[in-house]
Chain A
Amino acid sequence: MITGLLFAGQYYVPHPASEQLLTSVTKWLQIIGGFALVLGVTSLFHQHAVKIRRKEAGWGYSLVLYAGMLGTIAVGFWANGKESVDGAMTAFGWVYSFMMVPLQGTMFAILAFFIASAAYRSFRARSREAAVLLIAAIIVMMGRVPLGEYLIPLSGDVSQWILNVLNASVRRAILIGVSLGAIALSFKIIFGVERSYLGGGKE
């Protein structure tokens, strides 16, 4: 509680001592962040080890994850964390450039195909609200590409208006609501009312 209140107040105190305190604490946050990474990796290993041991559904994927992670960690240590040395690509750089980059790119690219298929199957004007959404989506999609602006010259300006006025005002309302909720939750955590983040079930 003391730390929570102290750092909520620190933001409004520009005294050098207060700034020094913030510098030290953020340095600690970075150190803790580093250890959290180790904790996360260990937890992931543990979770998948259990899956492999019990031969749960999809345990083969866990084995692939183990092989991928251990292999990458090994070549990472071997290359001292460097992707290239004097312009020459290391094994770690090879794993990054020729495995991680294309795999992530492929996953993202596949989305375009599934979005098109999903749009065809489910984007229907079943109600008035759905019809409004459908029309707005078509205008924005047209207005965001040169061909759309070429076919319907007004679509660019209308799409800009939808994004700048309708979208921004609704988003802002959501943002204000979420922020107020976050402030309320922060106070509950600071004063010890909310403890679920510490783990454990209901007593």
Chain B
Amino acid sequence: MTFAERMLKIDRRIIFLVIGLCTLLPLLYPVGLPIKISPEVRSVYDYMEALPERSVFLLSIDFDPASKPELHPQAIALLRHAFRKNLRVVSMTLWVSGTGMADQLLTQVAKEMGKENGKDYVFLGWSPGGTAVIINMGQDLYTAFPSDYGGRPTKGIPVLEGVHSLKDVNYAISLGAGNPGVEAWYVFGKDKYRFELGGGCTGVIAPGLYPLLRSGQINGLIGGLRGAAEYESLIGQKARAVAGMDAQSATHVAIIVLVIICNVFYFNLRRVPRQQGHGTS
């Protein structure tokens, strides 16, 4: 077996070790490379920034703990920005497995920013029906969610004063890790009830949402951990996402190097039989 063949059949545990080290070391020894802000993340930030105080901001936390590393920092940065701007935050989820996590993160950020449940924010929780919940909210918010996550009747909650349906929402953002997510909010929500919509998603589904972005169906997109890091930089509160960017940088470069090495050995192997063929003829 030649060296190239041996390298192509390298024990995968060595690759796991390289990736493990590339993730761990930058987290222990951060470098803090500058993060360039993309136009799609800036659009979300600018829109939030332009909203007047006490505007209604709907954050739909449409992910479960599996996507927490990428979408949790996005949610935290958006909530910090919304609370700092004194917006009325209405939060919910379309993913039943994300309910507890969504409640925890909203409570945590609200506490940090000194906001009061019911007065400054409300967590509506989860309601069955998938995308039908969006249409129902568009028709009548109180039918879709007769009570909030804590069991309190939604009618009469101060933060929802003057809010009857999605038509009364000034800006909505869906942080989606799949379906139902950003696309569902556009198809069943924004298209009919005419509110402005932004999106946040995991890195792997971001390319699929670019057509919505380019056509103006969503006004901005926060993609993956990189998007979260950009948003943290914009609000001036660098946190987990910015810290994670060094690890992501190292792993991306490691994978690129591995792919290049594998191709070098692959072409080397292809070249050898050809040369042998020429030699024998």
Residues of A within 8 A of B (CB): 11, 19, 22-23, 26-27, 29-30, 32-34, 36-37, 83, 93, 96-97, 100-102, 104-105, 107-109, 112-113, 115-117, 119-121, 123-125, 134, 138, 141-142, 144-151, 156, 160, 163-164, 167-168, 171-172, 175
Nearest CB of A to B146, in Å:
11
| Given A33-B129, A33-B132, A117-B12: A144 touches B226 (CB 8 Å cut-off) | yes
| Given A112-B251, A113-B19, A147-B253: A167 touches B207 (CB 8 Å cut-off) | yes
Give the CA-CA distance A38 to B262 in the complex, in Å.
Answer: 50
Number of interface residues, chain B, beta carbon within 8 A: 68
Q: Does B259 have its Cβ within 8 Å of any Cβ on chain A?
A: yes
In the complex, per-residue mask of B245-272: 1 if CB is within 8 Å of any chain A CB, else 0: 1101111111110111111001100000
Which one of A11, A83, A116 lies within 8 Å of B192 (CB-CB)?
A: A11
For A119, what are the chain B residues with a Cβ–Cβ distance below 8 Å? 255, 258-259
Give the CA-CA distance A11 to B226 in the complex, in Å.
Answer: 38
Nearest CB of A to B104, in Å:
8
Contact B15 A120, beta carbon cutoff 8 Å: yes
Contact B263 A125, beta carbon cutoff 8 Å: yes
In B100-144, which residues have CB < 8 Å from any A CB?
Answer: 100-101, 103-104, 127-130, 132-133, 135-136, 139-140, 143-144
Q: Does B158 have its Cβ within 8 Å of any Cβ on chain A?
A: no
Give the CA-CA distance A148 to B253 in the complex, in Å.
Answer: 7
In the complex, per-residue mask of B12-40: 1 if CB is within 8 Å of any chain A CB, else 0: 10011011100100000000011110100
| Given A119-B259, A145-B249: A93 touches B66 (CB 8 Å cut-off) | no
For B211, what are the chain A residues with a Cβ–Cβ distance below 8 Å? 168, 171-172, 175
Give the CA-CA distance A33 to B12 in the complex, in Å.
Answer: 44
For A175, what are the chain B residues with a Cβ–Cβ distance below 8 Å? 211
| Interface residues of chain B: helix, strand, loop or mixed (majority) | helix
Give the CA-CA distance A11 to B135 in the complex, in Å.
Answer: 11
| Interface residues of chain A: helix, strand, loop or mixed (majority) | helix
Contact B252 A141, beta carbon cutoff 8 Å: yes
Which one of A104, A141, A150, A151 lies within 8 Å of B255 (CB-CB)?
A: A141
A-B contact pairs, 22 of them (CB 8 A): A26-B129, A26-B139, A30-B129, A30-B132, A30-B144, A96-B101, A100-B97, A104-B65, A108-B66, A115-B255, A116-B16, A123-B259, A125-B263, A142-B252, A146-B33, A146-B35, A150-B33, A163-B207, A167-B210, A171-B207, A172-B211, A172-B214
Contact A29 B259, beta carbon cutoff 8 Å: no
Contact A97 B100, beta carbon cutoff 8 Å: yes
Which one of B128, B136, B207 lies within 8 Å of A37 (CB-CB)?
A: B128
For A30, what are the chain B residues with a Cβ–Cβ distance below 8 Å? 127-129, 132-133, 136, 144
For A103, give the chain B residue with the smallest CB separation. Answer: B65
Q: Does B52 have its Cβ within 8 Å of any Cβ on chain A?
A: no
For A113, give the chain B residue with the smallest CB separation. Answer: B16
Give 9 A-B pairs besides A113-B20, A125-B266 with Cβ atoms closer than 8 angstroms.
A23-B139, A26-B144, A30-B127, A105-B69, A120-B10, A145-B226, A145-B248, A146-B35, A147-B252
Contact A120 B207, beta carbon cutoff 8 Å: no
For B130, what are the chain A residues with a Cβ–Cβ distance below 8 Å? 33
Q: Does B178 have its Cβ within 8 Å of any Cβ on chain A?
A: no
For A97, what are the chain B residues with a Cβ–Cβ distance below 8 Å? 100, 104
Q: Most chain-B CB neighbours within 10 Å: which of A105, A138, A148, A168?
A: A168
Give the CA-CA distance A164 to B213 in the complex, in Å.
Answer: 9
| Given A33-B130, A124-B263: A146 touches B19 (CB 8 Å cut-off) | no
For B103, what are the chain A residues with a Cβ–Cβ distance below 8 Å? 83
Give the CA-CA distance A112 to B69 in the complex, in Å.
Answer: 12
Q: Most chain-A CB neighbours within 10 Å: which of B20, B66, B224, B263?
A: B66
Q: Does B155 have its Cβ within 8 Å of any Cβ on chain A?
A: no
Question: Which 6 pairs of residues, A with B, have the shortest CB-CB distance?
Answer: A147-B249, A33-B129, A30-B129, A146-B33, A29-B132, A33-B128
